[in-house]
Amino acid sequence: MELRWLESFVIVAEELHFARAADRLHLAPSALSAQVRALESHLGARLIDRGRRTRPALTGAGRLFLDEARLTLAQAARAEAVGRRAGRGELGHAEIAYVASAAFSGVLTDVLTRCAAPDTHLTVQVRELETPAQLEALSCGDIDVGFLRWRPEYPNGVMATCLLTEEVVLALPDGAPLAAYEAVPVAELRHEQFVAPHFDEEYGCRDQILQVAGQGGFNPQCLPPVRDFIAALTLVGGGLAVALVPDSLRRVRIPGVAYRPLADVPLTTRLVGAYRRGETSPAVRGVIRRLRETAAATTAVG
């Protein structure tokens, strides 16, 4: 049974006039009549009485069939709309992971807001995951998009878009003498203990500490690495260490922590969105498109 047969029957049932129904469908009356007869033949039932001197009229079978035909056409239209929207990446599901520091940058929430726009019905599941685990999960398909700190290289098949470049600042106890500086000279950090996330999980932390120490002319003293920047800031607030953190971490209001720029070493860090090259899922491509829109907007503002 063809949908065009149903459409022709419904229009004839509404007009009860073959010529007017043919005009609505942009068909010749003979072609329209042939479609209705094909439907009747398929069903084995007469749906329309065609009187020579009276207007066409629905039979009992036609009246019963009309409601079902309308429902079928409406459902077909809905199915077509869903298929088209899914193909445009406006429907579907995606798994997103992020490093803890990305939650404070604003770009993650911007992408999620774009995914939740009124004209889309994308569903996303988000979870915190460390960078190495994100890259592994991307490669094996456990997640679809990752928000992580820049790496010098990525696994085969994974590519990344820079979302945000931000200054690295010094987090220090707010009661420490160094807090009196508007910008802290790195040489003043020679007696401080540094704390940072796992060096193999937050690429660049160790190199940044070594760069600061080299500029200041001292060997850095480092506490055992911690899980993430939030744990590092907790130690800073307790007066046990200082930390080099992305500027967006200023939004984290941990008691006892102050933030100051470095006076003589310009350091930056990049947050990237990572995803599989050649992604085939329309829903995931939709998230990636919104990620790129966020990257373009951030660059334009910068």
Mutual orientation of helices 18-25 and 3-15 as an angle, nearest 10°? 130
Two structure tokens written together for 88? 């445009």
pLDDT number for residue 130: 84
CB 264 within 8 A of CB 170: no
pLDDT number for residue 254: 92
Distance CA(273)–CA(126), nearest Å, equals 14
pLDDT number for residue 93: 85
CB 90 within 8 A of CB 286: yes
pLDDT number for residue 169: 96
End-to-end CA distance of the chain: 59
Q: What are phi and psi of 43, to 5 degrees?
A: -85, -20
The 10s digit of each residue's pLDDT in 30-71 is 999 999 999 999 999 999 988 776 788 999 999 999 999 999
Closest CA to 102 of 128, 77, 75, 73: 128
CB 280 within 8 A of CB 94: no
DSSP string, the chain: --HHHHHHHHHHHHHS-HHHHHHHHT--HHHHHHHHHHHHHHHTS--EE--SSS--EE-HHHHHHHHHHHHHHHHHHHHHHHHHHHHTTSEEEEEEEE-GGGGGTSHHHHHHHHHT-TT-EEEEEEEE--HHHHHHHHHHTS-SEEEEE--S---TTEEEEEEEEEEEEEEEETTSGGGG-SSB-GGGGTTPEE--B-TTTSTTHHHHHHHHHHHHTSPPEEPPPBSSHHHHHHHHHTTS-BEEEEGGGGG---TTEEEE-BSS---EEEEEEEEETT---HHHHHHHHHHHHHHHHHHHH-
Two structure tokens written together for 200? 């193999």
Q: What angle do CA 213, 217, 221 make, to 5 degrees?
A: 45
Distance CA(247)–CA(232), nearest Å, equals 14
Spans of the chain below 70 pLDDT: 53, 82, 85-91, 119-120, 199-204, 300-302
pLDDT number for residue 203: 58
pLDDT number for residue 86: 61
